[in-house]
Amino acid sequence: MSFMEIEEVSNCEGLPLLSLNHVSLLCRSVWASVRFYEEVLGFVLIKRPSSFNFNGAWLAFY
């Protein structure tokens, strides 16, 4: 199998998902993405450390 091929696995049970934390996504517009996560998915924008020297946002779903 080469590096780019995908092997299909059947009859395989996945692990139950109990929680999901710290997801990082690249996007074209941080603020358009923030608006979507707040208005559509109900996330809340939270304070982000000022030591980061790149554009971004932290959101939480309580």
pLDDT in tens, 8-57: 777 777 778 788 888 999 999 999 999 999 999 999 999 999 999 999 99
Please give the model's pTM, rounded to 2 decimal places.
0.64
End-to-end CA distance of the chain: 43
Please give the pLDDT value at position 58. Answer: 95
CA distances from 9 to 1, 6, 13, 14, 28 (A): 14, 9, 10, 11, 34
pLDDT for res 2: 55
Q: How confident is residue 59, by pLDDT bands cut at 50, 70 and 90?
A: very high
Radius of gyration of the chain (CA): 17
